[in-house]
Amino acid sequence: MRIAIYAGTFDPFHNGHLDVAQRASTLFDQLIVAVYEYPAKNTLFSAQERVEMVRESVRDLPNVDAELFSGLTVEYAKNKSACVLVRGLRAISDFEFELEIAHMNRNLDPELEAIFLMTGLPYAYLHSSIIKEIAQLGGSLNGLVPDHIAAALRKKNGSASMVGKPPTSNLVP
């Protein structure tokens, strides 16, 4: 059985992530969307919220599940008997970063392969931090995230955790 791991923070899981997961699911017997539990960056959603949002997003893909993980991705992959790490790419800038990570992972586990799937063109501009900013500023999330994640973002937007925070990108002056 060929098992692949698609690891990330997924804060939030957006339609670009879903596109990669859908396409990767056709290439492997099992795909595990591995949600990193303790990222160095601040997250809007808790680890449990993130994994539940991913599970809901992939529920119609019979060979895909979502799990929390911590520690090295290569160790998690080894524990799951995975042979491949799946990564999504949007642009050349993604490739440079992902290439470095792939080489380091290869150094840590020479048996584990990395494959890169280009995000579908309609999603090439999606980035979780931009989506969070759009939600914070009351913009439309149509076509950016699954409906249940849009609802979760709107709910967070109305909470004290979002109020008064400055924008995190250059979307607005």
Residue 164, pLDDT above cutoff 50: no
pLDDT (tens digit per residue) in 9-35: 999 999 999 999 999 999 999 999 999
Of 80-84, 97-101, 157-161, the poorest mean pLDDT is in 157-161
Q: Considering 17, 50, 87, 132, which one is annotated as catalytic?
A: 17
Task: Report domain 3-124's class.
Answer: alpha beta
The pLDDT of residue 89 = 94
Residue among 112, 91, 93 at smallest CA distance from 102: 112
Give the mean pLDDT of 74-97.
Answer: 94
SS (H, E, C) the chain: CCEEEEEECCCCCCHHHHHHHHHHHCCCCEEEEEEECCCCCCCCCCHHHHHHHHHHHCCCCCCEEEEEECCCHHHHHHHCCCCEEEEEECCHHHHHHHHHHHHHHHHHCCCCEEEEEECCHHHCCCCHHHHHHHHHCCCCCCCCCCHHHHHHHHHHHCCCCCCCCCCCCCCCC
Domain boundaries along the sequence of the chain: 3-124
Average pLDDT, the chain: 91
Q: Is 59 a catalytic residue?
A: no
The pLDDT of residue 40 = 87
pLDDT (tens digit per residue) in 73-83: 999 999 999 99
The pLDDT of residue 103 = 96
Give 163's pLDDT tier (boundaries 50, 70, 90).
Answer: very low
Angle at 60 between CA 55 and CA 66, to 5 degrees: 25
Rg (CA), the chain: 16
Q: Considering 80, 90, 106, 129, which one is annotated as catalytic?
A: 90
Q: Is 106 a catalytic residue?
A: no
Q: Is 41 a catalytic residue?
A: yes
Q: Considering 14, 57, 128, 132, which one is annotated as catalytic?
A: 128
**Token pair of 86 as six digits:** 């799946």
pLDDT (tens digit per residue) in 107-126: 999 999 999 999 999 999 99
Give 171's pLDDT tier (boundaries 50, 70, 90).
Answer: low
Q: Is 2 a catalytic residue?
A: no
Pairing of strands 64-69, 84-89: unpaired
Q: Considering 41, 93, 140, 159, which one is annotated as catalytic?
A: 41
The pLDDT of residue 157 = 82
